[in-house]
Structure 1
Amino acid sequence: MKLETIKLAISNGATLTLYLHDIMELREQARPIILITPGGAYSFCSEREAEPVAISFYNAGYHAAILRYSCLEEARNMQPMAEALESIRILREHAEEWHIAGDKIAVCGFSAGGHLAAATGTMWNEPALMERLNYTGDALKPNAMILGYPVITSGEFAHRGSFYNISGSRVDDEISGFYSIEKRVNSDTPPTFIWHTEDDPAVTVENVLLLISALRKAEVSFECHIFNKGQHGLSMCNQEVNTPNAHCAHWFGLCLEWLDSIGFGLE
């Protein structure tokens, strides 16, 4: 394994940590990469949803990367979104060197990190971000999204703390609504895999129901699994992350099958 951490130039403290397969193991074969954005209500980046997830994808044959993005007041003005898009830029610019399949970059997030992953897939062509990062076209668009119990809506079912940290607003208004993902989904949104639990007490299942409705309306390909029981923050649903749940743990195998179905499979 090649392990490397890069400090993002557009940030005071955000980092991108790479988990890359050895070139001899690859036999010159480029592989897809999963960019992971941990949860934490935009107040911190949960380590439970970082390396355990990266290692799981790595062991399944994928390259992986973790974005530890800006939080709290530093998350305002779309800063985490800029960092996620800059991370995609770095991965694509170094695709040949690192043997990454540049057309197979998936972003994978959990809870508020799921919001960031979804924002990356729906805000990649936001004019202010395009101007800020000095790019045009779809060069920074992720090719797929993987969302675990994601924060989605700023409305009735909002995880208000996440929206406060990202927007500075404590209510459902125009400021927080700017970040409401179900309002941003359109035909340019990449294929999406979603999983959630029906009784999640922190980020209610209505978040993904609103997202599914928006994806269907925009005719975006998606797959969704709603498990009947499971606390918030399940991550890999095992003892390592202190949330063992054998039923919900199926999300990972289902996700690998879905990746294969959309052309991300390993040769």
Structure 2
Amino acid sequence: MKLDTIKLEHSSGATLTLYLHDIVELREKARPIILITPGGAYRFVSEREAEPVAIAFYNAGYHAAVLRYSCQEDARNMQPMIEVLESIRILKEHAEEWRIAADKIAVCGFSAGGHLAAASGTMWNEPTLMERLGYTGDALKPNAMILGYPVITSGEFAHRESFYNLSGSWEDDQISGFYSIEKRVNSETPPTFIWHTEDDQAVTIENALLMISALRRANVSFECHIFNKGQHGLSLCNTEVNTPNPHCEHWFGLCVEWLDSIGFGLE
């Protein structure tokens, strides 16, 4: 494994940690990569949803990367969106060197990190973001999104703390509404895998339902799994991350199967 951490250019503290497969004699082909954005309400970055998830995807044959993005007051002015899009650009620019399949970059996020992952797929062509990063076209666009119990809406079912940390507003107003993902989904949004639990009291299931409704209206391919039991923040749903839930643990295998089905399988 090649393990490296990069400080992002357009940030004072965000880092991108890479988990790259070594080039071996029997396999030199490029691999898809999963860019992971952990949760934490944009207040902190959850380590339970960081390296353990990266290692799981690595062991499934993918390259992986973890973005530890700006939080709290540093998350204002779209800063985490700048950082996730810069990370995608870095992965694309170094694709040949790192043996990454540049057209197979999936962003996998949990909770508020799910919001950030979803933002990468719906805000990659936001003019202000493209101008700040100095790129146009689809250079910043991910090819797929994996959303675990994601924060989506700034409306009735919002996780208010996440939107406050992003926008500085506790209300469902124009400022926080700018970040409401279900309003941003369109035909250019990449294919999406979503999982959630009916029991989630922190980020309610309506967030996932609003997202799949928006994807459906935009004719974007998606797969969604709603599990009946499980608290918020399950991550891999196993003892390693201290959230054992054998039923919900199936999400990971289902996700890998879904990735295969949209052409992200290992060649």
Residues of 2 paired with 1:133 and 1:47: CA distance?
A: 27
Matched, 1:145 2:165: no
Which residue does the alignment assign to 1:62?
62
Q: Match of 1:179, SS?
A: coil
The one-letter amino acid of 1:115's match is: H
Which residue does the alignment assign to 1:243?
243
Which residue does the alignment assign to 1:4?
4
Residues of 2 paired with 1:25 and 1:14: CA distance?
A: 35
Deviates more, 1:18-27 or 1:155-164: 18-27
Which residue does the alignment assign to 2:105?
105
Residues of 2 paired with 1:100 and 1:25: CA distance?
A: 17
Which residue does the alignment assign to 1:255?
255
The aligned runs of 1:132-211 (5 Å cut-off) are: 132-211=132-211
Which residue does the alignment assign to 1:46?
46
**1:77-119: per-residue Cα shift (whole Å, max 9, x none)?**
1000000000001000000000000000000000000000000
Q: Match of 1:81, SS?
A: helix
Which residue does the alignment assign to 1:124?
124
The one-letter amino acid of 2:58's match is: Y
Deviation at 1:24, TM superposition (A): 1.4
Instruction: Report the CA distance shift for 1:25/1:250 in structure 2 as closer, same or farther (over 3 A).
Output: farther
Where structure 1 has 5 or more consecutive residues not aligned to the other structure, the ranges are none
Residues of 2 paired with 1:130 and 1:144: CA distance?
A: 19
Compute the TM-score of the two structures, normalised by the length of structure 2.
0.99
Residues of 1 paired with 2:262 and 2:126: CA distance?
A: 25
Residues of 2 paired with 1:251 and 1:125: CA distance?
A: 30
Compute the TM-score of the two structures, normalised by the length of structure 1.
0.99
The one-letter amino acid of 2:115's match is: H
Which residue does the alignment assign to 1:75?
75
Deviation at 1:26, TM superposition (A): 6.5
Deviation at 1:199, TM superposition (A): 1.1
The one-letter amino acid of 1:138's match is: D
Which residue does the alignment assign to 2:93?
93
Q: Identity, % of aligned pairs?
A: 86
Which residue does the alignment assign to 1:114?
114
Residues of 2 paired with 1:68 and 1:15: CA distance?
A: 5
Where structure 2 has 5 or more consecutive residues not aligned to the other structure, the ranges are none
The one-letter amino acid of 1:186's match is: N
Q: Match of 2:24, SS?
A: helix
The one-letter amino acid of 1:31's match is: R
Deviation at 1:73, TM superposition (A): 0.4
Which residue does the alignment assign to 1:13?
13
Residues of 2 paired with 1:134 and 1:26: CA distance?
A: 39
Q: Kindly tell me the number of residue pairs found equivalent between the two proteins.
A: 267
Residues of 1 paired with 2:21 and 2:89: CA distance?
A: 20
The one-letter amino acid of 2:217's match is: K
The one-letter amino acid of 1:123's match is: M
4+ residue segments displaced more than 3 Å: none
Deviation at 1:27, TM superposition (A): 2.3
Residues of 2 paired with 1:58 and 1:28: CA distance?
A: 16
Residues of 1 paired with 2:25 and 2:165: CA distance?
A: 42
The one-letter amino acid of 1:223's match is: E
The one-letter amino acid of 1:128's match is: T
Residues of 2 paired with 1:245 and 1:118: CA distance?
A: 25
Deviation at 1:25, TM superposition (A): 6.2
**1:12-71: per-residue Cα shift (whole Å, max 9, x none)?**
100000000001166211000000000000000000000000000000000000000000
Residues of 1 paired with 2:25 and 2:221: CA distance?
A: 33
Instruction: Report the CA distance shift for 1:226/1:25 in structure 2 as closer, same or farther (over 3 A).
Output: farther
Instruction: Report the CA distance shift for 1:57/1:152 in structure 2 as closer, same or farther (over 3 A).
Output: same
**1:165-196: per-residue Cα shift (whole Å, max 9, x none)?**
01111000000000000000000100000000
- Measured on the aligned residues, the alpha-carbon RMSD in Å equals 0.7
